[in-house]
Each structure stands twice: as C-alpha cells, then as structure tokens.
C-alpha cells in the first residue's frame, strides 16, 4: 500500500531524498502503482518555477529503493505526450538529488526487425515535435550542449546488462523519432521517417532527455514495441479498439506482458547501477559555462526565471 507522506505539494528547495536513481514510467505506470505491483510511499508533487510536477514516489524493492514518477498521471492516463510538464518533472527529480534517470516508452516499430513486446535500448533520436518547452534556459545565453551521445552510454550499458541478466528479448540499438501527437502518424510520414533512418516512432522522449542533460543528469530509456507503425504492415481499421486496429489481441497481450515485467526490470536495474562505475561525462554538460564564470555551481540559479 502507498502511504501519502505529503498530500500537499512540496515547494522549492526540499530536502533531497537519498536515492540518486529514478524511473520515469510511461504508459501503464499508473496501473502498476494502483495495483501495488510497485510498493512504496508517495512523497508528493513539487511546485517548480515551471509549474507543478507529477507526484514522486519512493519505491521499496527487495534489495534497493529508488524514486519513481509516472509521466502521464498518477491514477490514469491524464496527460498525453504534448501536454506533459517535462520541465517540472525533471526539475522535481533533480531537486530530490537524482543523478540517473531511466524512462520507459511504448513506441511503434517502423521496421519489422523488431517483435511486438520486444525491448529496445535506443541510442539515437530524431526530434519531430513542435511547440514544446524544450529548455530550462529560455531567454538566456547558455544551453549549447552537444548531443552525441544523446543517451548516457554508461547508463545504457546498465540497462542492457539488466535485460541480458533477466534473459528478456531486447535490441541494444535503435533510433527513436519523436512526434508531436497526440494523433498517430500518417503512412506518408512513416515513409519519411524511414528515409531518415528511424527505427521506432513515439511521442515522449523529447524534450525529456534534453532537459536531463541541461541539469547534468544521466538519462537512458527502455522502449517496448507496442505495434507496427502505419503502413508497415496491413491493418484493418477497427473502431473502438486500441490504435483503431493497429495492434491485434495477441500483440496487446505481448505488450501487457512487457509492461508487467517492469517492476522486476527496474528493481534489478537499481542493483545493477550500484555495481557499475558510471564513467560518463553527463555531469559535465555545463562545464564550459562554469569555467567561463557564466554560471555557478548551484543549478537552481541556472534555471531561475
């Protein structure tokens, strides 16, 4: 059972929680919370300069604890991808002392080389979103940050090692194209993304990964394939079904099974991270500006409005 330790929003400069690892849960994360498949306590929301975050939870695994935030809502799918307050969510996790974030996302496959329900540890990204709040640094002269690699290599390796140890079906590479949503893509758009070299199409990793990098946090993502994108294989239009028929009953069962595996994946991942030396440069993303004296060591001052 979840214990609500703070039913009202936590305001700025809250005392950090000891965990440095957090999960951002995608679709169905709220169901795992409501069904007690993820057990812990509700720490609460944070009121940030960018609005109110989703609630932060502390999850207690059998060996490790970690923080958890449900991207689309605490009790249901209440925020579609274009309307998630990504800045508030990333700010809240940073405020709690988080250094490593692993998210999950359920994109469609642009290639039949992937199986429905298969996990993909993406390693590159194409941004096709529009009008989202992409940066903490609006109207400031900072934020020119290199995006190769986009995702933290060390954290990605932790994810790969975890999936390998659990013997789950996964692919270790993939390029994710992020679209605006909430509508699904047209067949012509999918052809365009194929020409770009994309493998998966989803709606949630932008600007999440870029915001984490701005606050010098490691970020990686576990994708699970939910369906084949429009035009990849023939799918009859079936009103009233998920994606209007882009996925079959068998495929939906495979996806549900993949989501139900997330509690064991993230608990194992929390232990794996503790054993790894996260030798990366994510904590140096803003180093140039520090050396120049443009910013100081207090990240709150970088993002103040």
Q: What is the CATH number of the domain that holds 51?
A: 3.40.50.1580
Residue 274 covered by a domain = yes
Residue 301 covered by a domain = no
Residue 4 covered by a domain = no
Residue 6 covered by a domain = no
Alpha carbons 45 and 53: distance in angstroms, whole number: 5
Question: Average model confidence (pLDDT) for the chain?
Answer: 90
Would you say residue 2 has pLDDT above 50?
A: no
Would you say residue 246 has pLDDT above 70?
A: yes
Q: What confidence tens digit (pLDDT) does each residue in 152-204 have?
A: 999 999 999 999 999 999 999 999 999 999 999 999 999 999 999 999 999 99
pLDDT value of position 304: 80
Alpha carbons 68 and 41: distance in angstroms, whole number: 10
Q: Go through 109-143 and write b for each residue having 16 or more CB atoms within 10 A of its CB, e for each that does not.
A: bbeeebebbbbbbbbbbbbbbeebebbbbeeeebb
HSE-CB at 33 with a 13 A cutoff on CA atoms is: 29
pLDDT value of position 19: 67
Would you say residue 7 has pLDDT above 80?
A: no
Residue 138 covered by a domain = yes
Percent of the chain at pLDDT > 90 equals 75
Residue 299 covered by a domain = no
Helices then strands, counting H and E runs in the chain, come out as 9, 16
Strands in 45-133 per DSSP E: 47-48, 51-52, 56-60, 65-70, 100-105, 108-109, 119-121, 124-128
pLDDT value of position 14: 47
Cβ atoms 116, 228 nearer than 8 A: yes
pLDDT value of position 3: 39
Q: Structure pTM? A: 0.92
- Give the other-Cβ count within 10 Å of 4's Cβ: 11
How many domains does the structure of the chain reveal?
Answer: 1
- Give the other-Cβ count within 10 Å of 10's Cβ: 20
Find the mean pLDDT for residues 268-289: 90
Residue 267 covered by a domain = yes
Find the mean pLDDT for residues 102-107: 96
pLDDT value of position 253: 94
Q: What confidence tens digit (pLDDT) does each residue in 63-100 have?
A: 788 999 999 998 888 999 999 999 999 999 999 999 99
Residue partners of 298: CB distance under 8 A and separation at least 6: none
Q: What confidence tens digit (pLDDT) does each residue in 19-61 have?
A: 689 999 988 888 888 888 888 899 999 999 999 999 999 998 7
Please give the residue range of the domain that contains residue 134. 13-290
Nearest to 213 by CA among 82, 46, 99, 56: 99
């Amino acid at each position: 059972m979840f214990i609500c330790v703070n039913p009202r929003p936590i305001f700025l400069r809250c005392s950090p929680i000891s965990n440095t690892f957090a999960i951002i849960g995608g679709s169905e994360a709220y169901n795992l919370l409501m069904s007690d498949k993820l057990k812990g306590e509700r720490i609460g929301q944070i009121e940030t300069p960018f609005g109110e975050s989703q609630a932060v939870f502390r999850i207690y695994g059998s060996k490790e604890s970690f923080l958890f935030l449900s991207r689309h809502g605490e009790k249901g799918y209440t925020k579609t991808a274009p309307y998630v307050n990504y800045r508030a969510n990333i700010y809240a996790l940073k405020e709690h002392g988080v250094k490593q974030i692993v998210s999950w996302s359920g994109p469609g496959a642009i290639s039949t080389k992937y199986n429905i329900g298969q996990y993909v540890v993406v390693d590159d990204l194409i941004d096709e979103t529009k009008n989202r709040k992409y940066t903490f640094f609006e109207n400031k002269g900072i934020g020119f940050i290199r995006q190769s690699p986009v995702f933290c290599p060390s954290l990605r390796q932790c994810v790969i090692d975890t999936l390998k140890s659990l013997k789950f079906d996964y692919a270790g590479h993939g390029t994710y194209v992020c679209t605006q949503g909430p509508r699904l893509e047209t067949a012509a758009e999918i052809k365009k993304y194929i020409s770009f070299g994309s493998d998966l199409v989803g709606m949630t990793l932008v600007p999440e990964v870029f915001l984490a990098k701005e606050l010098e946090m490691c970020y990686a993502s576990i994708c699970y394939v939910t369906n084949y994108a429009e035009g990849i294989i023939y799918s009859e239009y079936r009103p009233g079904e998920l994606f209007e028929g882009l996925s079959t009953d068998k495929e939906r069962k495979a996806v549900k099974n993949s989501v139900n595996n997330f509690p064991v994946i993230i608990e194992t991942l929390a232990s794996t991270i503790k054993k790894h030396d996260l030798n990366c440069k994510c904590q140096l993303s803003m180093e140039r500006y520090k050396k120049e004296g443009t910013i100081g060591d207090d990240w709150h001052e970088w993002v103040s409005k």
